[in-house]
Structure 1
Amino acid sequence: MSGVLRSASALARSCHPAPSAGVTAFATVLAVTAGNGAGTCALLALAVLAGQLSIGWSNDRLDAARDRAVARTDKPIATGELAHRTVEVAIAVALAACVACSLALGWRAGLLHLAAVSGGWLYNLWLKATWFSWLPYAAAFGALPAIAVLAVPGHPAPAAWPIAAGACLGVAAHLTNVLPDLAGDRATGIRGLPHRIGARASLALTGPLLVAATGCAAFGPPGVPFLLGWLAFAVSVVVAVLGPAVLWRRPAGKLAFYAIFVVVALELAVIVADGHRLR
């Protein structure tokens, strides 16, 4: 049993747990806000979680040789703690669950979610080393509100503002998520957008993206902006101005990435408090 527990622990650490949990929570709140029932919300959460697990595990499996080359001790596959066969089986199970749960949402929401997951795989296989490394993040985060709305009975059309907000958040998440690994990635031939423009430029670009995302959530829906919307927008402006200045001397850390979670929480609070239905 101890071997099973060790493998389970290694799998949990290899799935990129913080992003996987964050994206799943984000999608679940969107599903509730869009007006889905409890069963649909649970199904959507399972679909998103399974997709994120497959992306996270495949990322570490594909990067195992690179991670070993730069002595990454936090990667169980690279260190040999997690066998290749074990993670490959886990990936297959996650993909099967993702396909089943996605299509159970209806073909519109299901195919859109599977397209978003495919973008994550395309990032792992190729785009992460190109100028277009940001594209799968923009597409996937932008798709989440649309998936939540298309899962509603009647399949109403999603509004443009949550899609734009999600896309901006996705690019910001990409720019900050890779900062701690820039040096190791460059050493092993990975040169996505953040690697090409550098850590400080990535931080500088993240600020306006966060402001744009919060602005879409606060001012995109029709009607007078809710007080919380103004507050969230003001906070995002402060973060955009002070964040790069505070992190300028040591930009390659995790603090900027975790700040994205704060902005996401603010945006969700704005959406839920103002009663927006994302359509």
Structure 2
Amino acid sequence: MPALLAAAHGGPALAVTAVAGLLALRADLRPFDAVAVTAAVFTGQLTIGWGNDLLDLRRDRAVGRTDKPLAVGALPVSRVVPALLVAALACLVLSALTDWRSALVNATLATGAGHAYNLGLKATVWSWAPYACAFGTLPSVVTLADPAQGWAPLWMAGAGAALGVGAHLLNTLPDLADDERTGVRGLPHRLGERRSRVLASVLLPAASLLAVLGPAGTPRAWAWAAVAVVIVLAVLTLVAHGRTPFRAAVAIALVDVVLLVAAG
């Protein structure tokens, strides 16, 4: 089970699920709808992670990735494929249990964008687009789970898109050299490490500012204190190495969603 979760990129999957759960709390969904849409997001994230490791298996072995259970033989493909199919079916069923609009957006623009990235967009200059699409539409996947609600506000979609692109830039940094060796050249590879860090350090606080200034009313003092924390985390993305910048981006995303929930 730990290997199966690791192959699904369990950390990021759980973080995105937590974001969806907090957004469901903010949207004041019925308990059943909140649980269903959060579970739909989680199962969709599992399919993206497993699909990524299955498609990258040859590349991961070629560059000697020891952190991938499939690449090192700790997890057989015969276990991952059925798990992916079950998760995909669960994602569709759970989404449909709430509202058909949420199911459609999740399947095509949120989870679907993740698979589009895996299937080839990650190797192009448009590698950022699936992240912008998936994170930008995630708030609407949640709000559309309630038949009485519509699409999430544009400022919320903008904040999600900025977070998604910033996370993409930082998540790719540790693998730039390995990706180049296997022919993957997305936007971060073309920008280079330094410019990718700088762009991410701008996008992430921008998302936080949208989260503070977007909701109606005057932001409270604690909201600006949260922005100060985000700025510190953004500076960390400029100077830290390894997976730390990406973890800082995930922390910023959670701070932003807490800001949204607290703003109500």
Cα shift at 1:260:
1.1
Question: SS at the partner of 2:17?
Answer: helix
Q: Which residue of 1 aligns with 2:247?
A: 258
Matched-pair identity in %: 45
Distance in 2, Cα, partners of 1:265 & 1:126: 29
Aligned mate of 2:41, from 48, 53, 57: 48
Cα shift at 1:63:
0.4
Question: SS at the partner of 1:178?
Answer: helix
Q: Does 1:108 align with 2:108?
A: no
Tell me if the contact between 2:126 and 2:187 (Cα under 8 Å) persists in the aligned partners: yes
Q: Does 1:77 align with 2:50?
A: no
Q: Which residue of 2 aligns with 1:232?
A: 226
Of residues 16-25 and 99-108 in structure 1, the stretch that sits farther from structure 2 once superposed is 99-108
Q: Which has the larger radius of gyration?
A: 1
Cα shift at 1:136:
0.6
What one-letter code is carried by the residue in structure 2 that aligns with 1:44?
V
Distance in 1, Cα, partners of 2:253 & 2:221: 17
User: After the TM superposition, which residues 127-276 of structure 1 pair with which residues of structure 2 at under 5 Å, given as runs?
Assistant: 127-240=121-234, 242-243=235-236, 245-247=238-240, 251=241, 253-275=242-264
What one-letter code is carried by the residue in structure 1 that aligns with 2:45?
Q
- Alpha-carbon displacement from aligned partner over 1:133-160 (angstroms, at most 9, x marks no partner): 1111111111111111111241334211
Give me the CA root mean square deviation.
1.4
Q: Which residue of 2 aligns with 1:4?
A: none
Q: Which residue of 1 aligns with 2:12?
A: 19
Distance in 1, Cα, partners of 2:93 & 2:157: 25
Q: Which residue of 1 aligns with 2:3?
A: 10
Q: Does 1:95 align with 2:88?
A: yes
Q: What TM-score do you get using the length of structure 2 for normalisation? A: 0.95
Q: What TM-score do you get using the length of structure 1 for normalisation? A: 0.90
Tell me if the contact between 1:217 and 1:229 (Cα under 8 Å) persists in the aligned partners: no
Question: SS at the partner of 1:26?
Answer: helix
Q: Which residue of 2 aligns with 1:5?
A: none
What one-letter code is carried by the residue in structure 1 that aligns with 2:140?
A
Tell me if the contact between 1:168 and 1:213 (Cα under 8 Å) persists in the aligned partners: yes
What one-letter code is carried by the residue in structure 1 that aligns with 2:248?
A
Unmatched 5+ residue regions in structure 1? 1-7
- Alpha-carbon displacement from aligned partner over 1:218-253 (angstroms, at most 9, x marks no partner): 00122211222222223333444x335533xxx4x1
